Amino acid sequence: MHLSAVALALVLAGSKVSAHTTMFSVQVDGADQGDGRNVYIRSPPNNNPVKDLASPDLAYNVNGGTAVSSFVKATAGATLTFEWFHNTRGDDIIDANHKGPIITYIAPFITGNGAAPIWTKIAEDGFDGATKLWAIDKLRSNGGKVSFVLPASIAPGQYLVRQELIALHEADAIFTANPARGAQFYPSCVQVEVAGSGSVVPGENFNFNTGYTYADPGIAFNIYAAFTSYAIPGPKVFDGAAAPAVSSRAVVGLTTPPAVLTTLSTVTRTAEFSLATGPGPVVAHTTRTARPTLHIRAAK
């Protein structure tokens, strides 16, 4: 799409007229937790997307590295509903030309910006070949609300739940080749305090800055060409099970803990880390070779 003079003027007039989106609130098993912006949501200053896959903002948006004061309280196994909006709650949510998936990740709570291998995918919705509807289409028709289940097996504690919309309307171009275009990421991060009797700390250890690439078929995607399916980026959805036991430790000489461990406030003191040489998180749509997996486990 070329920017006409009128469109350019509108863009320059500011985000008020842009067609973007941001998160308003959370429901826990249908109970509205109220306006969460800068309360339990690490809200960005505006509803603009992130497009640079090298940016730490890819984890949970501009300002996401600043913790907020509250946590949504939920029991493992609860249904969480995240509500998005465009400019005003309940409006058009996001422009109708924004097509793409909605993906939800979880990580142990940290106060930093989340640009680290700490994430596990817990829900995803892409393109339905039967109905021809994208997850974002369904979000719009559902008043900006999208629901998912907090895995029943996860251990009590404080977490970050990151949900992102990926808008593909300019994703036929690669951002690094044309910074005016490229896939648009709308990540938002909610602080959640989980109760229950689970014991699993999800351990996919996904890192957005290295796990998402411009070559990813779910990120470089032309919605204007004919297609019948769409490969959602990132690892497989977490199956609820604990990470497999590590059979051989310290196979790779690692004398210094990775930097991420020093930022994981909840696990730093007794973090146990080890390297497995088996395959990393399985990625459905690529043929990645085996790579080390970092297992981070909070010792009680």
- What residues line the site for Cu ion (CB under 5 A)? 19-20
- What is the C-alpha to C-alpha distance for residues 70 and 137, in angstroms, rounded to an integer? 31
By the 10 Å C-beta count (0-12 exposed, 13-18 middle, 19+ buried), 157 is classed as: middle
Cβ 222 to Cu ion shortest distance, Å? 18
Cβ 184 to Cu ion shortest distance, Å? 6
Residue with Cβ nearer Cu ion (120 or 163): 163
Residue with Cβ nearer Cu ion (112 or 187): 187
Contacts of residue 250, defined as CB under 8 A and 6 or more positions apart, other chains included, come to 274, 275
Cβ 94 to Cu ion shortest distance, Å? 6
Residue with Cβ nearer Cu ion (185 or 238): 185
By the 10 Å C-beta count (0-12 exposed, 13-18 middle, 19+ buried), 263 is classed as: middle
Instruction: Quickly list H helices, the chain.
Output: 5-12, 57-60, 135-141, 208-211, 259-263
Q: Which residue number has the CB closest to Cu ion?
A: 20
- What is the C-alpha to C-alpha distance for residues 60 and 111, in angstroms, rounded to an integer? 12
- Report the run of H or E that residue 9 belongs to, with start and end: helix 5-12
Residue with Cβ nearer Cu ion (97 or 262): 97
Is the CB of residue 103 less than 8 Å from the CB of residue 232? yes
Residue 255 carries which side chain, given as an amino acid letter? T
Cβ 86 to Cu ion shortest distance, Å? 9
Contacts of residue 134, defined as CB under 8 A and 6 or more positions apart, other chains included, come to 99, 100, 101, 126, 127, 128
Cβ 95 to Cu ion shortest distance, Å? 6
Residue with Cβ nearer Cu ion (166 or 260): 166
Residue with Cβ nearer Cu ion (22 or 205): 22
Cβ 226 to Cu ion shortest distance, Å? 24
